[in-house]
Structure 1
Amino acid sequence: MPIVRIDTMKNQDGGYIGKIGHIVYDAMRTAISVPENDNFQVLNEHDHEHFVYDAQYLGIKRTDRLVMIQITLNEGRTLDQKKRLYKTIADELNHQLGIPPGDVFINLVEVKKENWSFGNGIAQYAD
């Protein structure tokens, strides 16, 4: 069960960040086999003073189209799966929304299964 946080600059298209969320969910389904309906996202748009980034860190050009994506998920994906996820997200954001690949910043946070409660105060995945 991933939980996804997506942050961008405010966009005039009110549905823009939702489109990003849909692309990220589809990429997780194909690249790391996230189950159907396992879609939990927090989408945030910020004004310029509340969205801080370095425009050249690691030699990667970034613009105000930057999308920061943090995905918290169960540990256990292989390095190849993670690389496939990063590439799928960057490629699809570029293809569908014209976001340059350098403007796609992704961070995975892996946790043990017992660190989730889906509701009712129960650790549903705990052994």
Structure 2
Amino acid sequence: MPLVRIDLQKGKDASYRQKAGQIVYEAMVASTGVPKNDHFQIIGEHSADNFIFDPDYLGIHRTGDLIFVQIFFNEGRSVAQKQALYKAIAEGLSTALQLRPEDVFISLVEVKKENWSFGNGVAQYAS
């Protein structure tokens, strides 16, 4: 069960935002074994005043086109799966949206299965 947050500066149209979400979803299915239809995303737009980043941290030059992708999902994926996911997202966004790979910032947050409730106040994955 991944929950994905995608954040970017205001100014991109709805089709751009939706395409970004689709690319991230498809990369998760292909790279990390996320089941099809396990698709939950929050896409947020922010004014430049509320979208703060260092333009050159770690020697990577970022622009105002930067996209933050934060993925919350169950722990247990290998480093190789995570690396494949990062690459698939960056390449997919670059190809489909002409977004520079330097402008793709990805953060994974792994949680235990019992930390999810899909509704009804029940921890469906708890043992």
- Report the TM range for the smaller structure's normalisation: over 0.9
Give the deviation of 1:15 after TM superposition.
2.1
- Distance in 1 between residues matched to 2:23 and 2:63, nearest whole Å: 20
The amino acid of 1:36's aligned partner reads K
- Per-residue CA deviation, residues 6-64 of structure 1 (Å, 9 max, x unaligned), is 00011242321111001000000100011111000000011110101000000001001
RMSD: 0.7
- Distance in 2 between residues matched to 1:86 and 1:22, nearest whole Å: 15
Residue of structure 2 equivalent to 1:5: 5
Q: Runs of 5+ in structure 1 lacking a partner?
A: none
TM-score (norm 2): 0.98
1:28 aligns with 2:24: no
Aligned ranges for residues 1-127 of structure 1 at < 5 Å?
1-127=1-127
- Distance in 1 between residues matched to 2:61 and 2:71, nearest whole Å: 23
The amino acid of 1:6's aligned partner reads I
- Per-residue CA deviation, residues 63-91 of structure 1 (Å, 9 max, x unaligned), is 01100000000000000000000000000
- Distance in 1 between residues matched to 2:53 and 2:9, nearest whole Å: 11
Identity %: 56
- Distance in 1 between residues matched to 2:45 and 2:19, nearest whole Å: 13
